[in-house]
Amino acid sequence: MKEKVVLAYSGGLDTTAIIPWLKEHFDYEVICCCIDCGQGNELDGLEERAKLSGASKLYIEDLVDDFCDNYIMPCVQAGAVYENKYLLGTSMARPAIAKRLVEIARKEGASAICHGATGKGNDQIRFELGIKALAPDLKIIAPWRMTDIWTMQSREDEIEYCRQHGIHLPFSADSSYSRDRNLWHISHEGLELEDPACEPNYDHLLVLGVTPEKAPEQGEYVTMAFEKGVPVSVNGEKMKVSDIIRKLNELGGKHGIGIVDIVENRVVGMKSRGVYETPGGTILMEAHQQLEELVLDRATMETKKDMGNKMAQIVYEGKWFTPLREAVQAFVESTQQYVTGEVKFKLYKGNIIKAGTVSPYSLYSESLASFTTGELYDHHDADGFITLFGLPLKVRAMKMAEIEKNQK
């Protein structure tokens, strides 16, 4: 009886070519597994394509709600943003995918899992760290790193390899952007983006929305409600998280929100340039932060910012299934108990403009913040506070003056 391998299958040329390659070089029975994290019509026709290419079975697993509730929301609540710009769209999806690949491998009694990530990118790390953490006994096959037996170097090579194995599918050899899409975002790499000196060709590139210049001349008000850090409605309509993200994607795309051009530092040591479209995610992160400003105290906000940066690094590096991520997430969840309220803002030509925030747990006191302060604040108390708060600065200045005097 042949050993089984579970292939993370997207339906694209790379992973389609891997099917006959696995059978030829390892004599595996190939079970394809496509994880739906909100790719949309990219899943059309996959079953026929996988079977024609030699797979014995195809799983199409709907992980959209799991992805939103258990991976996206912890990062939103943490305020996890990598290098101040990247909202972790691909990074958050990889552990969810790895977990389901392991579950399918266990169900099928497979001995290995194969992925099509390249040897230069971050995804190989994210997939493999997830698999190692959940199933250390499973073999991992990464064709693009096996250059002794994976000899294909281009799309033309892969198309010819498929043709030689009787697989005649309508793949094109023409160059296009390298993209990754899910419900949270779409990333773009390649073509003119490989040169940081080149401006992105947004008319050719954008999928989820338009540039701010092409957004409507009229702004649009949006109201969101949160309960314990989780969004529950948009414009008064209650929805689950995945539907809220869909709605915000529609609104954000329309108004040119969430387009980021970044040169980022990959885990493997190189810099890479990409453009990310995250219209709904950008709105959700901003609305959540807007509410936190009202309800979290200064010390918690300060520490939470550090934890958000740490969470971003953990997720970017593929270390989701670690005690550290669990500990950081536990801290973040403890801060969300009172992140409840309503946030209103205006979307206008790439901008998210505040239009009012309310919460039953607001720490903002109008009587304290106004110039006519009440009983809780006595201006004279600031004298002693500033004296003590500034004492280290004063002592150091006196000491430096003494040293300077003695040196004369």
Catalytic residue among 36, 91, 123, 180: 123
Distance CA 227, CA 343 (A): 12
Catalytic residue among 14, 36, 181, 325: 14
Could you give the count of Cα atoms lying within 13 Å of 367 in the half-sphere of its Cβ?
Answer: 5
Catalytic residue among 49, 94, 246, 273: 94
178 belongs to the catalytic site: yes
14 belongs to the catalytic site: yes
Q: Write the single-letter amino acid at 309.
A: N
Q: Write the single-letter amino acid at 391.
A: L
Alpha-carbon Rg for the chain in angstroms: 26
137 belongs to the catalytic site: no
- Using DSSP bridges, classify how beta strands 341-348 and 271-277 pair: parallel, antiparallel or unpaired: unpaired
Task: Say if residues 304 and 296 touch (Cβ distance below 8 Å).
Answer: yes
Helix (DSSP H) and strand (DSSP E) numbers for the chain? 15, 14
By C-alpha distance, which of 86, 145, 89 is closest to 115? 145
123 belongs to the catalytic site: yes
Q: Write the single-letter amino acid at 281.
A: G
From residue 318, how far is each of 123, 127, 130, 290 by CA, in Å? 8, 7, 7, 28
Catalytic residue among 111, 178, 242, 272: 178
Residues with catalytic roles: 14, 94, 123, 178
